[in-house]
Structure 1
Amino acid sequence: MEITRFRVSPERAADLLAARSGMIADFQADRDGFLGARLIQLPGGEWLDLVEWRSPADFAASRAKGGNLPGIQAFFALIDELVSTEEGILR
């Protein structure tokens, strides 16, 4: 499980939500082991993105690709600040 916390300015929140579907489509098309994702809006302009991967190796391979496709780039471009990123195991 990939757990990422980030900040987005409130005036860009609607754009972030609109860009989400393109990012998910790119992940489905290009990221082996991508199982799904949930986006949670927190107080104070923070967001929590929970992305489920089949294995830690799939997550590492995805991370190495970075923002390699337009839908992923559009979503990442709306993030003002990365607060934290962690990897965990869903039990």
Structure 2
Amino acid sequence: MHLAVGGLQRETGAAPTSLRSEMTTVELTRFKVAPERVEELLRTRPGMVAGFEADRAGFLQATLVRLPGDEWLDIVHWRSAEDFAASRAKGPNRPDIKAFFDTIDALVSSEEGTLA
């Protein structure tokens, strides 16, 4: 399911109560996408989320936020830091995940934290 609230786009994954765990790891990735590729980014997003749900242990949900200046913020919730690290090691290992990653022109920043 895909929800849009106040300019935020949220793809649902696991039940929202799973996000309340003190150990939930949050991945914050800021990146740039050229204006002519935005449609492709949005078109490939559901496939990327489905790929994560099928292939990434501990994936809980992802929220995509459009920022000014051709920048985007992806907020991804993981059950644990270990699950996030395992996902990162896999990279774009599936065509549905790679299609989304390929729309990204530049990585601006990437951070990891714990849900408070």
- Scaled to the shorter chain, the TM-score interval is over 0.9
RMSD: 0.4
Are 2:111 and 1:86 aligned? yes
> How do 1:34-73 residues align onto structure 2 when only pairs under 5 Å count?
34-73=59-98
TM-score normalised to structure 1 length:
0.99
Match of 1:75 among 92, 100, 103: 100
Q: Tell me the percent identity.
A: 64
Distance in 2, Cα, partners of 1:73 & 1:10: 19
Match of 2:39 among 14, 17, 32: 14
Q: Secondary structure at the match of 1:5?
A: strand
Q: Which runs of 5+ in 2 are unaligned?
A: 1-25
Relative contact order, CA 8 A, sep 6+: which one is greater? 1
Which runs of 4 or more aligned residues in structure 1 lie more than 6 Å from their structure 2 counterparts after TM superposition?
Answer: none
Q: Which runs of 5+ in 1 are unaligned?
A: none
> C-alpha deviations, 1:21-62, integer Å up to 9, x for none?
000000000000000000000000000000000000000000
Larger radius of gyration: 2
Which AA in structure 2 matches 1:12? R
Which AA in structure 1 matches 2:33? V
Q: Secondary structure at the match of 2:114?
A: coil
More helix by share: 1
The size of the alignment, in residue pairs, is: 91
State the match for 1:25 in structure 2. 50
TM-score normalised to structure 2 length:
0.78
